[in-house]
Structure 1
Amino acid sequence: MLDIIGERLVENLSVSLPDLTRAICESSLMSLDYVPMGQIIETLPSPVLLAVSTGVPFEGEILLVIDRTLLLTATELMLGGSAKQLKEDETGEFTAIELGFGERVAAAILAELQRALSVVGSAELLLDRVETDPDSAGIVKNASLCARMKFSVAMAGHVGILEVVIPYDALEPIRPALSKIYFGNRGEDQRTWHDLISGQIERAHMDLEVVLAEEAIPIQKIMSWQPGDTIDFGIEEGEQATLVGADEPMFKVSLGKRNNGFVAVQITEKISKKEELEEDGSDN
């Protein structure tokens, strides 16, 4: 189940981080392992942003580890930059501004983790504090075993690392649900996927075509056409036409002109799929 939660978090981040940074984000789950807290602290990069969270259903704190590349890339993009001048090999401490934006990034990630956890039950996570010193962010004893999900997050040509660390003791309230096999359902849990797909659709682009007229012409006549020949379809201003998207008729439109002289169309009627099927049935 933690694998499923991790994959859902990947999908959520690919939508929420672009909303925050105005840049395309590609994330992936690199690994899910179980290691002592002490080993996690020993392998932390420097500098690093450590966000400590509390909330239900966990009994205890959970930790977000955001590396320098991910934090500075997100900060630069949120400030309106392009992150092209980011030097990934620097080791200076974070500024107060960077820490402030780091809190926003951590809060956004926690919100998406909360949504991903809905597959096993309701959750409510709150950002408690942000640290840069690993010793100050120790949420359990070094010997305590933790589940660690490591993610790769790519934005603006840079690849950062995000880790979600959940101690075993904190997982106790939802451990029975984690041991179950998830086949999916049509309940409220699917609302997350509905929202994700809706967000992607809103960002998509579609090419539209206005079909002014259709006429069957003998192939012999077409073969005799030469440059300069005129083909009269008898179309006048105010004539009805069809607006087509993805090879599907979508609207009936009326032709006209704007004040600037440009040709324009006014939507007069929506073409439903049901109407098309009825028309096809009547022809048969």
Structure 2
Amino acid sequence: MSDPTDFEDAELDMAAAMGMGQAPKQLNQAEIDRLLNVEEPAGDGRPAASAIERLVNSTAVNKDRLPMLDVIFDRMVRLLNTSLRQLTSSNVEASLVRVDWLRFSDFLATVELPALIGVARAEQWDNHLLVSMDSSLIYTMMDVLLGGRRSRPGRVEGRAYTSIERKLTERLTKVILQDLSQSFDPLAKVDFSFDRLETNPQFAAITRATNVTIRARIAIEVERRVGHAEVVIPYATLEPVRAKLVQMYMGEKFGRDVMWETHLKSELQRTRIDLVAVLHQIEAPLGEVLAWKPGTALKLKVSPDAPTVLMSGETPLFAGRMGQCNENVAVRIETDLDTKGELVDGLLSH
């Protein structure tokens, strides 16, 4: 943690330099890191990140922007408990470890080799996602499904996965995808279809290395042996349902009040408007219209019993016959032009 006096010392040095007519002091990298409070100790033999590196890496999207995503992953884990118990006929406990927001290149760097990464496709969203499993989970599921030993499996180094292990991993991946699809059902209908298995993380690239992804890490315990599975979804894949994922709770509405709309619509229906009875409309050249004078006769090709259209502004509402009622000119409505709804909706939109 940086000392608050560092800020005061830096300000005093700069003020003194400016007051004496000298050039401002240039801060070195260590002083910049201390002022920005981004200095961190080195670990695992790696040097501490500089201030500029930390600022660049801080552009990742905050997970709080999609609060419904945590609800979806929690629901998927509950469904996995039931699905995996039916698959293995054993006591299986799945739990959500954490949900991380990271760049796709950072995820690829954390994949341990040998690896099996399932590539899936979101049909309705026309995009992809990944399901990755570590070797502990793969070997554990192999032993449970094929009736092998119940002890903790030893670590196998440098051996590629067999066809049987690949088939069982594909089957487990489809179970995870099916439960993930059911978890999205309350928000949006989407089908996650299995595409292929990749052993090289570089061949499982479904987005740019710098793009933001969401990684859900799930711990699966079978027969007191624990393995991990990861569901990696690019942020662009969730773009079609982002408006629903930003909700704080299911069914939340933004910028809309149904009760107020109903009240406004009822009040508009009681509002008085001006109607114009149009007997006939003709089109004439502008030069002819400018030549009209008082007494000019216009020939309308319309019969006396032709229908009259009642209009509100540019919207036609009714059609009827022109007549007389109690010494007043009247129009008897005979046809509803089914445009009243458009008139009300147009008023509501404004």
User: Counterpart in 2 of 1:117?
Assistant: 184
2:95 corresponding residue in structure 1: 28
Residue 181 of structure 2: SS of its match in structure 1? helix
Residue 155 of structure 1 is matched in structure 2 by: 222
Give the Cα–Cα distance (whole angstroms) in 2 for the partners of residues 174 and 79 of structure 1: 40
State the distance in 2 between where 1:90 and 1:73 align.
Answer: 16
Structure 1 residue runs of 4 or more that deviate by more than 6 Å after TM superposition: none
Question: Are 2:133 and 1:72 equivalent residues in the alignment?
Answer: no
Structure 1 spans left out of the alignment, 5+ residues: 186-284
CA shift, 1:23, in A, is 1.3
Conserved 8 A contact 1:57-1:173? no
> In the alignment, does 2:49 pair up with 1:14?
no
**Partners of 2:153 and 2:193 in 1: CA distance:** 30
Q: Higher strand fraction: Structure 1 or Structure 2?
A: 1
Question: Shift of the alpha carbon at 1:182?
Answer: 2.4
User: 2: distance between equivalents of 1:47 and 1:94?
Assistant: 8
Residues in 2 aligned to 1:57 and 1:11: alpha-carbon distance in whole angstroms: 24
**CA offset at residue 85 of structure 1?**
5.3
TM-score (structure 2 length as normaliser): 0.51
Bigger relative contact order, structure 1 or 2 (CA pairs below 8 A, ≥6 apart): 1
In the aligned structure 2, how far is the partner of 1:80 from the partner of 1:163? 25
1:91 deviates by 4.8
The answer to whether the Cα contact below 8 Å between 2:104 and 2:207 also exists between their aligned partners in 1 is yes
Give the direction of change, closer, same or farther, for the CA distance of 1:74–1:184 in structure 2 (3 Å limit).
farther
AA at the equivalent of 1:26: E
Structure 1 residues 184 and 174: CA distance shift in structure 2, 3 A: closer
Q: 1:152 to 1:91 in 2, by over 3 A?
A: farther
Secondary structure class of the residue paired with 1:35: strand
Q: Which residue matches 1:96? A: 163
Distance in 2 (CA, whole Å) between partners of 1:182 and 1:56 is 26
Aligned residue identity for 2:73: G
Identity among equivalent pairs (%): 31
Partner residue in 2 for 1:61:
128
Output the CA distance in 2 between the equivalents of 1:91 and 1:151.
Answer: 25
Alignment correspondent of 1:81 = 148
Deviations 1:23-71 (Å, cap 9, x if unpaired)? Answer: 1111111111110100000011112210000023433110001111111
Change (3 A) 1:84 1:55: same
The structure whose Rg is larger is 2
